[in-house]
Structure 1
């Protein structure tokens, strides 16, 4: 299938000589409002990369239901063919009472670039200082236990107040002093803080002997993968191309991302810095999207050792690189 490139209104557009006559609609539910972690998907949609493979992609923002239905629930209920969520969601879906045979097929980031953060203007210079303070939680699986272990591993007691604000308000609880610490992505909230000259204390889980899996990952149902192997492989191929495009075409990629942002993010985010902080973590032609078995096993073992999950999770196939291997 032939194609060429044109610049139109400042944006690089892939102009396909001929798209497939038959298009298949696929839906992907985002884990958050559009941000730097989603840029490859947005690029692939805007530049016709999905259409090239006969895919008409619908992107579902959590704003459509104000975060009422989690990505995992949307997958379970067949509201989406793919969802973005932390690796914990795959574990949860496979081990709930009404089991969902879910599997992760693409890792957005090759490393964990999140942190537990506090303002440097407060007295929380280290994790153990969170004892007796307030932590703003996303109510994610294992989150509260992980933060407790972080405090304990730093010599604290792991006793603090946990609050559950509205999802879009969690970051602002740190800024307005309602909470003393919360979980952030260094390449998003961390960039916003830097742009506003807000100094943060940031504590990486790895620095306190807590392993973590991949976040976010693209998840689907195993039966759907098996029944639509070629289609799903093309979806992953286009997605991967979108992320690789972002690493080589910054200005175009930023323009595309900006068109999807909320008004708040358009006003407050330095997208150039956000992309620069993320590019290397998207990976390259060799590892973009891939997951490592040893890293996953380390995370699963930690969950079992800390009585957060039963040992059977260590024998479950929770991810696959199969679709990437077909590229």
Structure 2
């Protein structure tokens, strides 16, 4: 069976288990022919979550905010559901250049933040600034998705959101010192990210296929967790083989990939040695925080000029044009994810 997986970014060590599962024949063992699609093939014109919603891909990688958004948008978007978390603990953070002097969230006041344009992103950053004593006024720009990190390195933005296991490792290897604002340090119980998601119709109609896919994927990530240096070698070879027809914008740096694997390996399995398992309390905590801070609201963001009552701009969201409040008790956390399709031994 052919299976398309839409990645959230160009290949990096958050994706390593997928590439290992393909290279080592784990998917083939399950009767699956898996294709991993990097967003650089169309310069990120379609989000990975939307590819699943449109049934252009059977699986995608996205953050928990995307899952929440598809379950709470009052338009006609189909839902998506998380079937595994790739990382058991958070490795993401807001970062600034050490040389900028912006060494705490409050100092982002009035600064330029390079945004991915996500529904909750700017308001989460805004709340971190407010909770640190600022007013929450900053400029949220939306440069081309795959160039966001470079805007910070080139001094064209003051801050952005990264994975410390990837961009953080790159900065370290380039001798670029960063100020790192972890969300948990600002008492933000951030949700799982990234996640593997699929369409509810796929779960209902092809549960055995989903189980086979997750079984093979779990084997790949467990190998990465237990043998990170071997995983780095497999990953590098697999990425090159997978993307012959559409080479990456920039080749991977082998030494960085090794160092990144050593970092990421520590975050792949939970305290019981399981990959992919999600806790209801983690989803509840993030949703509770969004609700308590007034961020659980109906309007969605638009990078373009909004043309319906359901959408607003990123500036509009930060300035309070958010639509009606979504009652917290109307969002059932258990409907957003399932562990039921993970390997029983996982």
Query: Does TM, scored on the shorter chain, surpass 0.5?
Result: yes
CA apart distance, 1:314: 3.7
* SS of match in other structure, 1:323: coil
User: Match for residue 33 of structure 2?
Assistant: 56
Cα gap change, 1:251/1:205 in structure 2, threshold over 3 Å: closer, same or farther?
closer
User: Match for residue 263 of structure 2?
Assistant: 277
CA apart distance, 1:280: 1.5
User: Over residues 32-80 of structure 1, what are the superposed CA-to-partner deviations in whole Å (9 max), with x where a residue is unaligned?
Assistant: 0000100000000011000001011111110121100011210111100
Q: Name the CA distance, whole Å, in 2 between partners of 1:162 and 1:231.
A: 41
- 1:217 matched to 2:195: yes
User: Match for residue 291 of structure 1?
Assistant: 278
- 1:87 matched to 2:64: yes
Cα gap change, 1:289/1:75 in structure 2, threshold over 3 Å: closer, same or farther?
same
CA apart distance, 1:186: 0.4
* SS of match in other structure, 2:342: helix
| Superposed counterparts of 1:187-206, under 5 Å | 187-206=165-184
Cα gap change, 1:269/1:71 in structure 2, threshold over 3 Å: closer, same or farther?
farther
Q: Name the CA distance, whole Å, in 1 between partners of 2:209 and 2:111.
A: 49
| Superposed counterparts of 1:164-243, under 5 Å | 164-243=142-221
Aligned partner of 2:290 among 300, 303, 310: 303
- 1:124 matched to 2:102: yes
Question: Which one has a larger percent strand, Structure 1 or Structure 2?
Answer: 1
User: Match for residue 11 of structure 1?
Assistant: none
- 1:77 matched to 2:95: no
Q: Name the CA distance, whole Å, in 2 between partners of 1:120 and 1:135.
A: 15
Aligned partner of 1:321 among 319, 328, 339: 339
- Structure 2's unaligned 5+ residue stretches are 241-247, 297-325
- 1:33 matched to 2:10: yes
User: Match for residue 264 of structure 1?
Assistant: 250
Cα gap change, 1:37/1:202 in structure 2, threshold over 3 Å: closer, same or farther?
same
Which moves more between the two structures, 209-218 or 313-322? 313-322
Aligned partner of 2:76 among 70, 76, 98: 98
8 A contact 1:301–1:314 mirrored in 2: no
User: Match for residue 161 of structure 1?
Assistant: 139
CA apart distance, 1:316: 5.5
User: Match for residue 90 of structure 2?
Assistant: 112
* SS of match in other structure, 1:290: coil
Aligned partner of 2:119 among 104, 116, 141: 141
Q: Name the CA distance, whole Å, in 2 between partners of 1:62 and 1:315.
A: 29
* SS of match in other structure, 2:250: helix
8 A contact 1:195–1:269 mirrored in 2: no
Q: Name the CA distance, whole Å, in 2 between partners of 1:286 and 1:66.
A: 36
Q: Where do 4+ consecutive residues of structure 1 move more than 4 Å?
A: none
8 A contact 2:88–2:192 mirrored in 1: yes
Cα gap change, 1:291/1:315 in structure 2, threshold over 3 Å: closer, same or farther?
closer
Number of equivalent positions = 304
CA apart distance, 1:30: 0.4
- Aligned-pair Cα RMSD in Å: 1.6
8 A contact 1:300–1:314 mirrored in 2: no
8 A contact 1:192–1:269 mirrored in 2: no
- Structure 1's unaligned 5+ residue stretches are 1-23
8 A contact 1:101–1:223 mirrored in 2: no
